[in-house]
Structure 1
Amino acid sequence: MQIAFSPCPNDTFIFHAWVHGLIEGAPKLDVMYADIDITNNLAANRQGPEVMKISYAALPWMLEDYALLPCGGALGRGCGPLVLTRNSRNHEPDSAQLSGRRVAVPSERSTAYLLFRLWAAKNVPGGVGEIVVLPFHEIMPAVRDGHVDAGLVIHEARFTYPSYGLSLQTDLGAWWESDTSLPIPLGAIIARRSLDVDQLAKWARASVEYAWAHPTQSQDYILQHAQEMVPSVVQQHIDLYVNSFSVNLGDDGYAAVRTLLDRAAAEGLVPQVDLDKWLK
């Protein structure tokens, strides 16, 4: 079975057991390690593998072909995207600084970018300027080196951005949680509707539970794909992004997804879809 997910520690931690044949009855996986912008576009163009990790923001374009699995993804609290700028003299965050500015983002269909657009519509006078799509690991160097004025970052950048001499302009996750009281829906696991989606969910859930029960077994595999992250940052990454929502979205998880996509559709940022029809 073909699957695509990122090389980030949360994904490799979650899928280690399945990838290595440790889940009874689960089919062998042919893994494609890909940046989220790649998987978002593959899914949207109906060219993707049978199972994929995508951004929740990309979900409306593919619900006719792919079903959302209730586990295996990234959703939580205190883990939202950050808007970063170069250090200024006063160190005061001011959203007006982004007016007409050049901003790097990890994907135009990422949840991070969708949250940024919802936030900027209310907080950046006149709107931002040019949007530049970069792989997420290239964004902080681009901000540091002055190629862009600000960067929208995800994943381990939450822990490492001070080492690049950058300042936190806005924590979009904190803004979202304050505004909605809901967790932040970041990455979704989807599977082609022609497959046995319920069975796939059981295997994905079993892989998460195996990872928690045997936390050291996946270390070599995770570090192999962790893009030179130090082990302490890798562990922070896993602890933050692999949580109870990774085994079951539950009522709060589904409410977060619905709220995000409903708000985005109301602003004309994503297609309007009948979520009651497609989501359990």
Structure 2
Amino acid sequence: MNIAFSPCPNDTFVFHAWVHGRIPGAPPLDVTYADINITNHWAAEGKGPEVQKISFAALPWVLKDYALIPCGGALGRGCGPLVLTSSTTTDPKALSGKRIAVPSERSTAYLLFRLWASQNVPGGIGEIVVMPFHEIMPAVRDKKIDAGLVIHEARFTYQNYGLNMMRDLGSWWEEDTQLPIPLGAIIAHRSLEQNAIANWIRASVEYAWSHPNESKTYIMEHAQELSTEVAQAHIDLYVNSFTADLGEEGFAAIESLLVRAAKERLVPEFDLSLLRK
């Protein structure tokens, strides 16, 4: 079976057991390691492997052809994207008319930023600049951009660039909705047996939790020069009970995000019922 997911520690932790043949009855995996911005577009264009990790924000473009698998993704609390600047101000009015770097226009981070900005930035922001997430913090530090939206391990390293957090958008979302933040989703082409895939992924998650040391070498091989401490912090933040099962609270969070985004015309109209089919 072909699959694409990121080289980030949470994904390699989750899929280690399946990739390494530890799940009885699961087919061998042929893995493509790709940034989520790439898989978001692959899925929308009908390209790439039949199982992929994408952003929940990209679901409206793909739900006709791909089913949401209710496990294996990233959804939680205290793990949202950050708005960073090189100044010390926390007043969002400072972003009015400014250039903002984002890692993707089809990411949950981007949707959260636009929803937050619509409420808090008078007159709106200026230009959105899409760039690879690892380039954002240096660009903000060097004042090539006015502010940056960062994700993943940047939560733990932005101080190293002399940057300051204007707003934790995860905290804003949780305060506004009392729901967790839907970040990364696992999808499978609708021609595949979805229940079987969910069972194999869930078994891989459970194996990872039961044998945490087995995956460390694999994780660090793909961790993009992260320290073991940062990699573990990444796993602790993004792998949780929602990774094993979205549950009703997880689905409520996804629906809330996408319905709000559709009302703001940030995503196309879509059939909400397909989230659970």
TM-score, normalised by the number of residues in structure 2 = 0.98
How far residue 132 of structure 1 moved from its aligned partner, in angstroms, is 1.2
Partner of 1:119: 116
Q: Secondary structure at the match of 1:271?
A: coil
- 1:119-198 counterparts in 2 under 5 A? 119-198=116-195
Partner of 1:230: 227
Partner of 1:53: 53
Partner of 1:5: 5
Tell me if the contact between 2:64 and 2:274 (Cα under 8 Å) persists in the aligned partners.
no
Whole-angstrom distance in 1 between the partners of 2:50 and 2:119: 38
Q: Which amino acid aligns with 2:46?
A: R
Partner of 1:105: 102
Whole-angstrom distance in 1 between the partners of 2:159 and 2:6: 24
Tell me if the contact between 2:174 and 2:180 (Cα under 8 Å) persists in the aligned partners.
yes
Partner of 1:78: 78
Whole-angstrom distance in 2 between the partners of 1:46 and 1:249: 25
Pair 1:96–1:55, CA change in 2 (3 A): same
Return the match for 2:205 from 201, 205, 208.
Answer: 208
Partner of 2:32: 32
Once the two structures are superposed, residues 81-103 of structure 1 have per-residue CA deviations (whole angstroms, 9 ceiling, x without a partner) of 100001x3xx2301011111111
Whole-angstrom distance in 2 between the partners of 1:268 and 1:204: 33
Aligned residues: 277
Unaligned stretches of 5+ residues in structure 2: none
How far residue 128 of structure 1 moved from its aligned partner, in angstroms, is 1.1
Whole-angstrom distance in 2 between the partners of 1:278 and 1:99: 35
How far residue 127 of structure 1 moved from its aligned partner, in angstroms, is 1.1
Q: Secondary structure at the match of 1:52?
A: strand
Whole-angstrom distance in 1 between the partners of 2:29 and 2:15: 10
* Dislocated runs of 4+, deviation >6 Å: none
- Which deviates more from structure 2 when the two are superposed, residues 93-102 or residues 72-81? 93-102
Once the two structures are superposed, residues 230-255 of structure 1 have per-residue CA deviations (whole angstroms, 9 ceiling, x without a partner) of 11111110000000000000010000
Return the match for 1:243 from 240, 243, 249.
Answer: 240
Whole-angstrom distance in 1 between the partners of 2:215 and 2:138: 29
Q: Secondary structure at the match of 1:73?
A: strand
Q: In angstroms, what is the RMSD of aligned CA positions?
A: 0.9
How far residue 13 of structure 1 moved from its aligned partner, in angstroms, is 0.4
Whole-angstrom distance in 2 between the partners of 1:191 and 1:115: 25
Q: Secondary structure at the match of 1:69?
A: strand
Q: Which amino acid aligns with 2:118?
A: A
Tell me if the contact between 2:100 and 2:149 (Cα under 8 Å) persists in the aligned partners.
yes
Return the match for 2:89 from 88, 92, 99.
Answer: 92
- 1:241-280 counterparts in 2 under 5 A? 241-280=238-277
Whole-angstrom distance in 2 between the partners of 1:110 and 1:95: 21
Tell me if the contact between 2:8 and 2:222 (Cα under 8 Å) persists in the aligned partners.
yes
Tell me if the contact between 1:35 and 1:135 (Cα under 8 Å) persists in the aligned partners.
no
Whole-angstrom distance in 2 between the partners of 1:185 and 1:22: 28
How far residue 277 of structure 1 moved from its aligned partner, in angstroms, is 3.9
Pair 1:107–1:47, CA change in 2 (3 A): same
Q: Which amino acid aligns with 1:32?
A: T
Tell me if the contact between 2:63 and 2:274 (Cα under 8 Å) persists in the aligned partners.
no
